[in-house]
Structure 1
Amino acid sequence: MSSYVKYSEYYDLIYQDKDYEAECDFIELVFKKYSREPVKSVLDVGCGTGGHAIPLMKRGYSVTGIDVSATMLEKAKHRAAASGVTLDVYRKDIRSFNLKREFGACIEMFAVMDYLTETSDLQKALKNIRQHLREGSLFLFDFWNGLAVLRILPEVRVRTFEEKGIKLTRIVRPELDAINHICRINYDLLVKGTGKALEEVKETHTIRFYFPQEIRHHLEECGFKLLKFCPFPDLEGKADENTWSVAAIAKATGGGR
């Protein structure tokens, strides 16, 4: 699993235009439509810098976050404090963490699941998440849809971001390994700050794209029942072979404990 090493330092700048509030609207719609009782406590797996956790806390939810990146978690705590909330975060591996408590729902957003490239790791994570949920609790996550990845194909992308005197150009060069359902994403960041020399950051993130029925199978094997696939973040939409990012909505069943 990637810990975002150097990339994490510039994470919030790169994703400054990501509409976390709209995604939290989607999360709340899922809670209200599919939860058998009001959701109060939320486990945010792969919480990053708190992009979803903080807005959810401001909406009245109790949120606990875990992530493998210490840098991300420090940013999450600072952002939470600046927003007037206290966010409980832990540096944990999603395959083996144990918080010794249960939650009303679990979210795992922004393709965190795709960083589990081995089937055994995916099942460890799913079983572990199940242990932190009460029977009937919801589990919501999004993933790269293999049908769309192979149909549309990843492509080279270049984009420039600017904020507070920093200019960052990100070049994304994907390498597709179709037979193994893997995409290696090569990031090249060129960073120029006021009065500073040009900094170049290179990182490779290896992710796995999954197919919907594959996800259904693993959920059922690990104590969940799939409730719905939909485009992320469009609860009423219909996911198909052109939907790159698919949301899976599942509930914890009695078979996973």
Structure 2
Amino acid sequence: MSYQHFAYYYDQLMEDAPYEQWISFFEQAIVSVGADISSVLDVGCGTGSISIPLSLKGYDVTGIDLSGDMLAVAHEKSLTQHASVQFLQQDMTEIDGLAEFDAAVIFCDSLNYLLTEEKVAAAFQSIYRHLKENGLFLFDVHSLYKIHNIFSGNTFAENAEEVSYIWQCYEGEYPDSVEHELSFFVREEDSRYSRFDEVHMQRTLSVKAYEQLLEEAGFTVLKITGDFSENKLESEAERIFFICIKSK
């Protein structure tokens, strides 16, 4: 599922997202593994909020996303910030025609838009094929705790001057999934507001299920953590982070 109207207001609504922590997680993982990383594939790159900072740090970055609208925003941002990133519209389950990379990342719960284990497996296999030997694969997903205790049945809202939203969460049709119903209101030049509605679905799996699919794809899981912390208990974490290496 790809973002449409929402893509053009995504950064305003996500301005408090801890992107710098994802960057730090990436660089700390490199140090902990002792890897030499030059090229990075940013899968589900969205508006480039990870791709662009990595490029500005000197990495050779390629960003892929299913949403052409998100990629259009990412491209404009990269030009404004003088970052050299190749952005391509591709499905993470069918990555095609790219070189092999030293590392691949899927951050900000992009993997949770895949609603079946078969799709997740296909994404892992697709990424595996585009990593060099001993390449790193890092990603995060929503925890089961977050799906059931923070999202499902709850409503979130923000009343800002330029863009406001109402975000309602319902239990999804798949196990451990959630349906996000988004209504956002954008202030126009004449002070009237335009309303846009989108529905997004996400699903997560158990940590054990992710581990099994990773191993079947050929990865070795080096470390699993929660909420950017080495000490956060898995049962309390909202995000689960995986550090993996291409091992076969």
TM bracket, shorter-chain basis: over 0.9
Give the Å deviation of 1:177: 3.6
Matches within 5 A, 1:4-43: 4-34=3-33, 36-43=34-41
Tell me the equivalent position of 1:214.
209
Matches within 5 A, 1:1-257: 2-34=1-33, 36-152=34-150, 154=152, 155-162=154-161, 167-177=162-172, 180-234=175-229, 236-254=230-248
* Runs of 5+ consecutive residues of structure 2 not aligned to the other structure: none
CA distance in 2, matches of 1:18, 1:179: 27
Question: Quick check: 2:4–2:67 contact (8 Å CA) kept in 1?
Answer: yes
Q: 1:99 to 1:239 in 2, by over 3 A?
A: farther
CA distance in 2, matches of 1:37, 1:72: 30
The amino acid of 1:12's aligned partner reads D
Superposed CA RMSD: 1.6
CA distance in 2, matches of 1:78, 1:179: 36
Question: Quick check: 2:22–2:107 contact (8 Å CA) kept in 1?
Answer: no
Q: Secondary structure at the match of 1:139?
A: strand
Q: 1:148 to 1:197 in 2, by over 3 A?
A: closer
Q: 1:25 to 1:106 in 2, by over 3 A?
A: same
Deviates more, 1:196-205 or 1:124-133: 196-205
CA distance in 2, matches of 1:55, 1:168: 25
Give the Å deviation of 1:18: 1.9
Tell me the alpha carbon deviations over residues 167-214 of structure 1, each in whole angstroms, 9 at most, x when there is no partner. 211111111148622100111112223315321111110110221111
Identity %: 27
Give the Å deviation of 1:55: 0.7
Tell me the alpha carbon deviations over residues 26-70 of structure 1, each in whole angstroms, 9 at most, x when there is no partner. 211111112x43111100001111101111111111110000111
CA distance in 1, matches of 2:82, 2:140: 28
CA distance in 1, matches of 2:76, 2:91: 21
Q: Which runs of 4+ in 1 moved over 2 A?
A: 147-154, 236-239
Tell me the alpha carbon deviations over residues 141-178 of structure 1, each in whole angstroms, 9 at most, x when there is no partner. 1101114433555321111344xxxx211111111148
The amino acid of 1:54's aligned partner reads I
Q: Secondary structure at the match of 1:95?
A: helix
Question: Quick check: 1:96–1:128 contact (8 Å CA) kept in 2?
Answer: yes
Question: Quick check: 2:151–2:169 contact (8 Å CA) kept in 1?
Answer: no
The amino acid of 1:247's aligned partner reads F
